[in-house]
Amino acid sequence: MLKGKTALVTGSTSGIGLGLALALAKNGANVMLNGFGDADAAKAEVAAAMTGSGRVAYHGADMSKPAEIEAMVMACQAEFGAVDILVNNAGIQHVANIEDFPAERWDAIIAINLSSAFHTTRLALPGMKSRNWGRVLNIASVHGLVASAQKSAYVAAKHGLVGFTKSAALECAATGITHNAICPGWVLTPLVQKQVDARAAQAGITADEAKRQLLAEKQPSLQFTTPEQLGELAVFMCSTAGDNIRGVAWNVDGGWVAQ
Ligand code: NAD
């Protein structure tokens, strides 16, 4: 379905980003991966999922650094000729009360979880406009719609990302370029595993019990969403069914925000 299209997925060496990259690759897209950690393993996994003539590449840009973001977008365009599908997924978390929140962590979260999406979008849009087709998927969070305590920077960045998505959608409303946010609740990735481990250590409980408690507090389905499910939603939004889906913040949260 996405044969001939190129997807740039930030933060795709693990977790949700890798799930999205795999789904796009399975549907025929070329994929430019990004992120820290084991890039070769991610590249091999995505290459194995590729269908048809799809190809995979990797760029190690740090999403907190605008000059590196620019180099990554240029590299994707040089390698594949375009960025047709832009997935702004890279993100980090820090959990602390505001008065204890390290200023450096605040700045990093705003840069990686919010400002990087502005930079990738502004750099990818001219090419998308020249082809009059594009899909920009911003991986926000239920924390782009509601708040939790001790997550002020993350909640601010994700609310900002949802607002940015709406503004961008309006600017492109009469074009073939759509901008939408996906807002997951709990997904069991390394980012959430850290929170599970911290809760288990703090309360002296097992990791399984900590997982049960996390879900019971917020996610009525009592099930984690999977990266594969988010990948299928991303592919749907890239299909013709998504042509007129514009500026939405689509929660995939087991009922979290319905409460
Ligand atoms: P993860 O830690 O598994 O993956 C994060 C990815 O971002 C990794 O590839 C990492 O290398 C990359 N990354 C981190 N800092 C980077 C930087 N400076 N430059 C480039 N890449 C960087 O986390 P995840 O849970 O898969 O999270 C992915 C996105 O989904 C994040 O934006 C997160 O906020 C969002 N999200 C996650 C959940 C969840 O429950 N896991 C829920 C809602 C939203």
**What per-residue confidence (pLDDT) applies to 52?**
80
User: Given a cut of 90, is residue 180 above it in pLDDT?
Assistant: yes
Structure confidence at residue 53 (pLDDT) = 85
167 CB neighbour count, 10 Å cutoff: 11
C-alpha 16 – ligand 1 centre gap (Å): 7
Q: Are 203 and 217 in contact (CB under 8 A)?
A: no
Question: For 6-185+225-251, CATH number?
Answer: 3.40.50.720
Residue 101 near residue 94, CB atoms below 8 Å: yes
pLDDT in tens, 185-200: 999 999 899 999 999 9
pLDDT given at position 186: 97
Tell me the per-residue pLDDT of 78-124, one tens digit each, with 9 for 90 and over: 999 999 999 999 999 999 999 999 999 999 999 999 999 999 999 99
Instruction: Provide the residue count of the chain.
Output: 259
Q: How many angstroms is it from 135 CA to the middle of ligand 1?
A: 20
Whole-angstrom distance between the N-terminal and C-terminal Cα of the chain?
A: 36
Residue 2 identity (one-letter amino acid) = L
pLDDT surpasses 90 at 232 = yes
- CA distance to 143, 170, 203, per residue, from 113 (Å): 12, 21, 29
> Would you list the domain boundaries of the chain?
6-185+225-251, 188-224
How does pLDDT run across 152-161, given as a tens digit for each residue?
A: 999 999 999 9
Gap between the Cα atoms of 168 and 95, Å rounded = 29
Residues with CB under 6 A from ligand 1: 11-17, 34-37, 62-64, 89-92, 112-113, 139, 141, 184, 186-187, 189-192
Q: How far, in Å, from the CA of 92 to the mean position of ligand 1? A: 6
- Please return the burial class of 96, using the count of CB atoms within 10 Å of its CB with bins 0-12, 13-18 and 19+: middle
Which ligand 1 atom minimizes the distance to the CA of 36? 11
For residue 32, give both structure tokens. Answer: 């430019």
> Is 58 an active-site residue?
no
Q: What is the pLDDT of residue 191?
A: 87
* Mean pLDDT rounded to a whole number for the chain: 97
Pairing of strands 85-88, 134-139: parallel
